[in-house]
């Protein structure tokens, strides 16, 4: 690859300059390591993952101590309880993370498989071989488990990772990265197969988005703001993940009871995740029967309903805690016990609305009508389209991928949950005997 980033002629003098120089050196080392890791045998990668699991388990005291430093600082800074919980490591959680590594060891290695090998009329033998992407940079929130998951998935798929986690988890991440790098050394792979960006400033994150020639793919995991910044700023290829404004469309031919249970699950089982529903579209013909079933369920979590005019009147008449929706509500990912409610006259209106306001994540129709179900599957433009099921199933584990590094909401490269296969590229290999064209 051509690399257009030369190191500065001058000595670095500010903290920022030093961080930039460090990042560039790290990226160069990562690229060099990727040429070794890309041709490493599965047995060696699995041995490294086993060493990682053992070290993280046997030396969890170090990791817990580092995490305690992060937690103390976060409490002092007044972090919200939900975020504090995501930042927290416990022996049980570490056991879960280690179990995750063991599951990744058990997954088949996608690298090296050759698809579609054939002999062309001129005798050339042409095949398409699965190869790693190379160097994958991941920008993510302050969740220590993501650090390990991402590193393990990248390693198994032959990719070097450059991890840039949230600043609130920096001590936990430094410790985890050091332990994982010990495992790499133990198994005889370059330590730079797993790199952690030590400087958590925005400037350095921004610089990471422009490491053309070193970073093959950038995966941002986090809020809508991060994803928008990355899409706007990055010159390296990006896989957008996560943003999820998901809809449940309750059709006139829906079983009201099934629809209520699906909506309740999609909204309330875990409202902070991207596959949770944010909006329900209700066919006017079924609205009364549906809400009669749905309201008692939603009331268990005091779900606030933000409804259009038609729905508002009905909901109020049923004594529900509904307020008028504004235009902004149709484009908001609440990640909370709030639900937008809209009335539609037919499935086509639901489809158009979803295609206009969805984020291409997960969408579901509840109906007993065959043709409407098929039409919804055909016409809705999203990573996962459901008939009679909760959107909460959009997940690597639920889809049978074993593990996932994120859920792509773009159409290029990968769409939906991304497992090991989605962390690969291809390379045509051609065997000749002197052929010229």
Strands 194-196 and 160-164 turn out to be parallel
In the complex, least distance from residue 321 CB atom to a second copy, rounded to whole angstroms: 23
In the complex, least distance from residue 331 CB atom to a second copy, rounded to whole angstroms: 6
Q: Which of residues 9-48 bind a second copy (CB under 8 A)?
A: 35, 38-39
Q: How far apart are CA 313 and CA 309, in angstroms?
A: 6
In the complex, least distance from residue 175 CB atom to a second copy, rounded to whole angstroms: 32
Residues 2 and 124: beta-carbon distance below 8 Å: no
Q: Is 293 in the site for a second copy (CB under 8 A)?
A: no
Considering the complex, state which of residue 3 and residue 58 has its C-beta at the smaller distance from a second copy.
3
And the tokens for 410?
């773009």
Interface stretch with a second copy, choices 85-93, 177-185, 285-293, 411-419 (CB under 8 A): 411-419
Q: Which of residues 171-210 bind a second copy (CB under 8 A)?
A: none
And the tokens for 357?
């306001």
The correct pick among 383, 405, 418, 420 for binding a second copy (CB under 8 A) is 383
How many Cα atoms within 13 Å fall on the side-chain side of residue 59?
18
The correct pick among 87, 279, 386, 420 for binding a second copy (CB under 8 A) is 386
In the complex, least distance from residue 80 CB atom to a second copy, rounded to whole angstroms: 25
The correct pick among 84, 124, 289, 338 for binding a second copy (CB under 8 A) is 124
Residues 245 and 358: beta-carbon distance below 8 Å: yes
Considering the complex, state which of residue 42 and residue 186 has its C-beta at the smaller distance from a second copy.
42
Instruction: Give the number of other CB atoms < 10 A from CB of residue 47.
Output: 18
- Three-state DSSP state, 159: coil
Q: How far apart are CA 188 and CA 115, in angstroms?
A: 30
And the tokens for 167?
């600043």
The correct pick among 261, 310, 338, 353 for binding a second copy (CB under 8 A) is 261
In the complex, least distance from residue 187 CB atom to a second copy, rounded to whole angstroms: 20
Considering the complex, state which of residue 159 and residue 173 has its C-beta at the smaller distance from a second copy.
159
Interface stretch with a second copy, choices 8-16, 102-110, 233-241, 315-323 (CB under 8 A): 233-241
In the complex, least distance from residue 249 CB atom to a second copy, rounded to whole angstroms: 14
Considering the complex, state which of residue 97 and residue 407 has its C-beta at the smaller distance from a second copy.
407
Q: Is 400 in the site for a second copy (CB under 8 A)?
A: yes
Interface stretch with a second copy, choices 18-26, 58-66, 194-202, 423-431 (CB under 8 A): 423-431
Q: Is 258 in the site for a second copy (CB under 8 A)?
A: yes
Q: Is 428 in the site for a second copy (CB under 8 A)?
A: yes
Q: Which of residues 315-374 bind a second copy (CB under 8 A)?
A: 331, 355-360, 373
The correct pick among 73, 269, 293, 369 for binding a second copy (CB under 8 A) is 269
The correct pick among 117, 185, 313, 412 for binding a second copy (CB under 8 A) is 412
Phi, psi of 79 (to 5 degrees): -65, 140
Three-point CA angle 132, 275, 349, nearest 5°: 115
- Three-state DSSP state, 305: strand
- Three-state DSSP state, 72: helix
End-to-end CA distance of the chain: 26
Nearest C-alpha neighbor of 101 from the set 176, 163, 40, 175: 176
Q: How far apart are CA 199 and CA 207, in angstroms?
A: 11
The correct pick among 134, 256, 271, 396 for binding a second copy (CB under 8 A) is 134
The correct pick among 416, 418, 419, 420 for binding a second copy (CB under 8 A) is 416
Nearest C-alpha neighbor of 149 from the set 129, 125, 165: 165
Q: How far apart are CA 263 and CA 284, in angstroms?
A: 17
Considering the complex, state which of residue 124 and residue 323 has its C-beta at the smaller distance from a second copy.
124
Q: Is 114 in the site for a second copy (CB under 8 A)?
A: no
Radius of gyration of the chain (CA): 24
Report CA 378 to chain centroid distance, whole Å: 25
- Which position has the token pair 């920008």? 139
Residues 49 and 40: beta-carbon distance below 8 Å: no
Q: Write the interaction track for a second copy spanning residues 67-106; mark x where CB under 8 A is met and - where it is not.
A: ----------------------------------------
Considering the complex, state which of residue 372 and residue 415 has its C-beta at the smaller distance from a second copy.
415
Report CA 9 to chain centroid distance, whole Å: 39
In the complex, least distance from residue 209 CB atom to a second copy, rounded to whole angstroms: 11
The correct pick among 212, 304, 336, 369 for binding a second copy (CB under 8 A) is 212
Residues 133 and 110: beta-carbon distance below 8 Å: no
């Amino acid at each position: 690859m051509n690399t257009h980033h030369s190191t500065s002629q001058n000595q670095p003098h500010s903290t920022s300059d030093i961080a930039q120089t460090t990042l560039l050196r790290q990226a160069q080392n990562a690229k060099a390591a990727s040429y070794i890791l890309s041709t490493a045998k599965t047995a060696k990668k699995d041995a490294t993952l086993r060493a990682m699991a053992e070290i993280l388990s046997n030396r969890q005291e170090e990791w817990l101590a580092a995490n305690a430093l992060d937690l103390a600082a976060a409490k002092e800074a007044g972090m919200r309880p939900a975020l504090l919980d995501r930042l927290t490591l416990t022996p049980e959680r570490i056991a879960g993370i280690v179990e995750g590594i063991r599951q990744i060891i058990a997954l088949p290695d996608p690298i090296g498989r050759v698809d579609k090998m054939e002999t062309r009329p001129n005798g050339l033998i042409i095949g398409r071989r699965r190869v790693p992407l190379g160097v994958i940079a991941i920008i993510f929130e302050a969740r220590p488990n993501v650090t390990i998951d991402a590193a393990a998935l990248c390693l198994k798929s032959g990719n070097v990772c450059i991890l840039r986690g949230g600043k609130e988890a920096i001590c936990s991440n430094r410790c985890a990265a050091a332990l994982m790098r010990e495992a790499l050394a133990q198994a005889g792979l370059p330590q730079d197969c797993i790199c952690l960006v030590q400087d958590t400033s925005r400037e350095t994150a921004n610089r990471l988005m422009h490491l053309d020639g070193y970073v093959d793919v950038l995966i941002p995991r986090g809020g809508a703001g991060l994803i928008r910044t990355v899409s706007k700023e990055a010159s390296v290829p990006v896989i957008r993940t996560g943003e999820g404004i998901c809809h449940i469309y309750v059709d006139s031919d829906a079983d009201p009871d099934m629809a209520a249970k699906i909506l309740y699950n999609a909204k309330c089982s875990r409202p902070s995740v991207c596959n949770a529903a944010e909006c329900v579209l209700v066919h006017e013909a079924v609205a009364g029967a549906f809400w009669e079933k749905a309201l008692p369920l939603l009331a268990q979590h005091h779900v606030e309903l933000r409804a259009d005019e038609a729905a508002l009147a009905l909901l109020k008449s049923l004594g529900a805690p509904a307020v008028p929706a504004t235009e902004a509500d149709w484009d908001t990912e609440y990640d909370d016990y709030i639900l937008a409610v809209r009335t539609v006259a037919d499935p086509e209106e639901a489809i158009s609305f979803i295609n206009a306001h969805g984020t291409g994540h997960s969408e579901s129709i509840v109906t007993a009508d065959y043709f409407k179900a098929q039409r919804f599957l055909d016409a809705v433009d999203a990573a996962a389209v459901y008939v009679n099921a909760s959107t909460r199933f959009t997940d690597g584990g639920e889809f049978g991928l074993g593990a996932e590094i994120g859920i792509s909401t773009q159409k290029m490269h990968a769409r939906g949950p991304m497992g090991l296969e989605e962390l690969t590229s291809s390379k045509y290999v051609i065997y000749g005997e002197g052929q010229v064209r």
